Chain A
């Protein structure tokens, strides 16, 4: 811990300088690392800290993405505002899902199913609503206007993604030290005991869900204006939810730096796998690689990479009496 934090801070401090040092592919790769790190961090609040396994976070991303895109294209409202509208709508859905799930005491697997069901409903609705492009998807015409969140220079996306990741990590680091964070961990560890200790478990789970879905919705705006096309199957799809969860689980769910580390491990892996497998015609093979990796993580690093790394550093650091 003692060494890891300064090392992480140093690395983070150096990140803004990277684009001027590396080529455009590296910039793209880092943008993806930051963006998925951000999404993993948002999920981490409800999934990692509160221990409520949402497998439908794509729903929040999709709502944020469609909202920001539609507001920008149809109404001319800048995505810099639209991202918060999208976040708010995503939080509204998150609140509804949370209310249903927590009010009726859905735990573990049942909560997973509930969240997946809502994401699938969103996907089906989006696929069948022609005004937002239906199954074909919704396309944004590139204008290159920064006021509409469109940038000629890929480095702008790099910085926005970095800012998102740092902001979400800041939020998580802050709440982890406060009552909110302590309560969420307590709920994850033993819900009945927390309730007996005066924790309003329903309220705190719901707050965690709201915050997490809001952030994910904000991320949706970035997704829309980074890719310029939204397909219901990909923005609301289960694979995207899995991508988000994997960042946190591989890196260490319920730790402040875990999802970031997870993204640094997985995003390049996914990108390379996609590149090489797709070139040789093995579409979707990266998902197989993911599956194998997940099995490995569950077997060998059940707490994720971050706690293991932290222990490694702690062991090397001089022992304090």
Chain B
């Protein structure tokens, strides 16, 4: 059974069709990359899936259950967690997520510490979050989402602004998380990362799906190259 399934998902803002009839599926244990040029509707799709926006039309099913009309916090409790592009870190951030599953503060703190440890921020746990580097903040954002113990993780451009070394370690970390039993849907502009992580890639343009397939096929798909990759891909991702 598909873990996540959308049918004809649509959202428009005024005359702009940000997401237009999106049919997206994600099987249990799968990593799916969602790519497309700026304004293609990727983040809107995330906001629809996580309940921050209500779709104009269409259906979203997660573990066979409709998510329509549910608030973000309920969706999170069902096991669908997301990260944000812009995060304002604050103290005890990951504890908040853990508290959803474990109401006892002591147990939640323990789990939060474990999750912070897992993303490699153990040594920084006691530091004020404001003092973290961008790469560390991205890890913290990941820890925060993981603390909710999700079955499906939506990652919104976690690689943005990182240098190649940082990207490589974060790709390894996300791979680890996936092997730990978490399915992943990621929005990513970094081609090397998305190619390395995804089993399958869905390409959006103007709110519609223009292509779908395994990474190798997508990389050579003429409509994808036309819509999105263009020359940029040739430079950033050497042949594999």
Contact = CB atoms under 8 A, between A and B. Distances in A.
Interface of A: 177-179, 182-183, 185-186, 189-190, 192-202
Interface in B88-117: 88, 90-93, 95-97, 99-101, 103, 105, 108
Contacts of A202: 71
B99 A190 contact: no
Contacts of A200: 71, 73-74
A177 to B, nearest CB: 6
Contacts of A201: 73
Interface stretch (B79-87, B190-198, B213-221): B79-87
B167 to A, nearest CB: 23
Contacts of B147: 197
B90 A196 contact: no
Interface of B: 50, 52, 71-74, 76-77, 81-82, 84, 87-88, 90-93, 95-97, 99-101, 103, 105, 108, 144-145, 147-148
Given A179-B99, A186-B93, A195-B52, 15 more contacts: A179-B103, A182-B99, A182-B105, A186-B92, A189-B88, A192-B72, A196-B50, A196-B81, A197-B97, A197-B100, A197-B144, A198-B73, A199-B96, A200-B73, A202-B71
B157 to A, nearest CB: 15
Nearest to A193: B84
Contacts of A195: 52, 71-73, 76
A282 B74 CA distance: 57
Nearest to B147: A197
Nearest to B109: A182
Nearest to B80: A196
Contacts of B90: 185-186, 189-190
A192 B141 CA distance: 13
Given A178-B105, A183-B99, A192-B52, A199 B73 contact: yes
Given A182-B92, A199-B96, A193 B87 contact: yes
A108 to B, nearest CB: 15
A199 B98 CA distance: 10
A193 B73 contact: no
A192 B105 contact: no
A193 B81 CA distance: 11
A192 B71 CA distance: 11
A195 B52 CA distance: 9
Q: Which 9 A-B pairs have the closest CB atoms?
A: A198-B100, A189-B90, A198-B76, A197-B97, A195-B72, A186-B96, A200-B73, A179-B99, A197-B96
A201 B76 CA distance: 13
Contacts of A183: 96, 99
A237 B56 CA distance: 45
A239 to B, nearest CB: 33
Contacts of B100: 197-199
Contacts of B108: 179
Q: Which of A177, A197, A202 has the most CB of B within 10 A?
A: A197
Contacts of A189: 88, 90
28 contacts: A178-B105, A179-B103, A182-B95, A183-B96, A185-B92, A189-B90, A192-B52, A192-B72, A192-B84, A193-B84, A194-B73, A195-B72, A195-B73, A195-B76, A196-B76, A196-B81, A197-B73, A197-B76, A197-B81, A197-B96, A197-B97, A197-B144, A197-B148, A198-B99, A198-B100, A200-B73, A201-B73, A202-B71
